[in-house]
Amino acid sequence: MIILGIESSCDETAAALVTADRQVLAHRLLGQEAAHAPFGGVVPEIAARAHVEALEPLIVAALADAGLKLADVDAIAATAGPGLIGGVMVGLVTGKALAHAAGKPLIAVNHLEGHALSPRLSDPDLAFPYLLLLVSGGHCQLLLVEGVGAYRRLATTIDDAAGEAFDKTAKILGLGFPGGPAVERAAALGNPKAVPLPRPLKGSAEPHFSFAGLKSAVARVVGDYPPEDIAASFQAAVVDCLIDRTTRALNGLTVTPTALVVAGGVAANGAVRGALQTLAATRGLRFVAPPLWLCTDNAAMIAWAGAERFAAGLTDPLDTAARPRWPLDPAAEAVRGAGV
Ligand code: ATP
Ligand code: MG
Ligand code: FE
């Protein structure tokens, strides 16, 4: 069984072909960094236009890489949200058109489900339930992944996402865009103990996250220390918060997870991966992190989530709407009244 995956929810246009037995037959990706860099962040209108230009050639190239025709594909999985509505619509409409033309089922994939299940593409032994730290550009959540479509959100950020904090810190330090890799490179040259920075919500009872105060603290010390020391100290503070909050979530679990898992763009960070690996080891848990290319946005994770959903008998009608907001755990989202 072969799934074509399409991703266009932010600033990566991507197409991939993945089999139900975890072979990545092809994956193509075109980033838009150069187009957005002058603005220091993703400009939705520019992103949507770039997806329109890039997507069809990427799908054609991915099929050619795999030596396949559209007729060989068993189903088409496209990101249907959450994300920038213009971009999501480009990918979803393309997926619908291909599904209609080829007479194949459509699978409308939640981008966050793509991140959440991506570790199962790279690790065939990863079984449910697992505790997932989902750390990306727009999200910072702890989820108990109980099965395909069964996500229990234990915690989320009350303000910024972890990736957003990396991106804003990079901007404040003048390190460029996208910020995560730039901060990690600068941090490698700095002293993580040089700059006193806060650890928001560290020690609090609920395992929620907060990063806005950390970003503001970075803005206050800029110029007082070498940027490398600020980057290293910022990264250490983020890691501290992630570990403290994940520990809290582990302590509150009523089931024993099969593994501690990290996914999303920030999971590409070496310090984050290393600290989580240590935490898992101290708890006697297996640690699973996807390879770096599978952490940041890509279409293989969308194809894989499509394969998992298809195997569970889940397909979607061609009038499925794009959803700029689409929580993985609607029940948890509904109790946001307390600010979370
Ligand atoms: P979401 O998945 O929440 O919709 P997104 O798709 O924009 O958001 P991802 O592509 O999953 O996010 O991740 C991008 C984020 O990951 C960016 O904020 C980026 O700075 C961060 N990131 C990427 N690589 C690293 C790294 N090495 N260290 C820290 N952060 C990183
Ligand atoms: Mg991106
Ligand atoms: Fe993402």
More confident residue, 183 or 40: 183
Cα angle at 293 between 295 and 5, to 5 degrees?
Answer: 85
Looking at the DSSP assignment, which residues form a beta bridge with residue 332?
none
Ligand 1 pocket mutation, candidates 157, 296, 328, criterion most atoms within 8 A of CB: 296
Given the CA of residue 297, which atom of ligand 1 is nearest to it? 10
Q: List the Cα angle 113/114/119 in 5-degree steps.
A: 100
The pLDDT of 155-184, averaged and rounded, is: 95
**Do β-strands 12-19 and 2-7 pair in parallel, antiparallel, or remain unpaired?**
antiparallel
Question: Rounded CA gap, 238 and 230, in Å?
Answer: 12
Is 122's C-beta closer than 6 angstroms to any atom of ligand 1?
no
136 alpha carbon, closest ligand: 1
Q: Which fold has domain 2-118+293-326?
A: Nucleotidyltransferase; domain 5 (3.30.420)
Length of the chain, please? 340
CA distance 135 to 130: 15
Cis peptide before 181 (omega within 30 of 0): no
Under a CB-based contact definition with an 8 Å cutoff, are residues 286 and 260 in contact?
yes
Decide if pLDDT at 335 tops 80.
no
Check whether 257 has a pLDDT greater than 60: yes
Please report, for the chain, the start and end positions of each structural domain, with discontinuous segments joined by +.
2-118+293-326, 127-289
Assess whether the C-beta atom of 297 lies below 6 angstroms from ligand 1. Answer: yes
- Residue range 232-251: mean pLDDT, rounded: 98
CA of 140 to the centre of ligand 3 (A): 11
Q: Among candidates 270, 211, 288, 289, which has minimal Cα distance to 244?
A: 211
Residue 250 has pLDDT above 90, yes or no: yes
**Alpha-carbon gap, residue 226 to 206, rounded angstroms:** 35
Report the nearest-CA residue for atom 29 of ligand 1. 180
Tokens of 78: 């496209």
338 pLDDT above the threshold of 70: no
**Is there a shared CATH topology between the 2-118+293-326 domain and the 127-289 domain?**
yes
Confidence of residue 184 (pLDDT cuts 50, 70, 90): very high
CA separation for the pair 138, 148 (Å, rounded) = 22
Q: Is 249 left (phi over 0), alpha (psi -120 to 50) or beta?
A: alpha
Q: Binding site, residues?
A: 111, 115, 134-138, 167, 180, 184, 269, 297
User: Is residue 136 within 6 Å of ligand 1 at its C-beta?
Assistant: yes
Helix axes 179-187, 227-252, angle to 10 degrees: 110
- What does the DSSP assignment read for 82-117? SS-HHHHHHHHHHHHHHHHHHT--EEEEEHHHHHHH
User: How far, in Å, are 232, 234, 236, 337 from residue 190 at the CA level?
Assistant: 5, 10, 11, 40
Q: Which ligand is nearest to the CA of 266?
A: 1
Strand pairing of 12-19 and 130-135? unpaired
How many angstroms separate the CA atoms of 8 and 48, rounded?
A: 8
| pLDDT recorded at residue 180 | 97
Q: What is the pLDDT of residues 276-312, one digit of tens each?
A: 999 999 999 999 999 999 999 999 999 999 999 999 9
In this prediction, the answer to ipTM > 0.85 reads yes
With a pLDDT cut of 70, the percent of the chain lying above it is 99
pLDDT at 336: 60
Tokens of 232: 């290293």
pLDDT higher than 70, residue 156: yes
For residue 191, pLDDT over 90 is answered with yes
CATH topology of domain 127-289: Nucleotidyltransferase; domain 5 (3.30.420)
pLDDT of 339 > 80? The answer is no
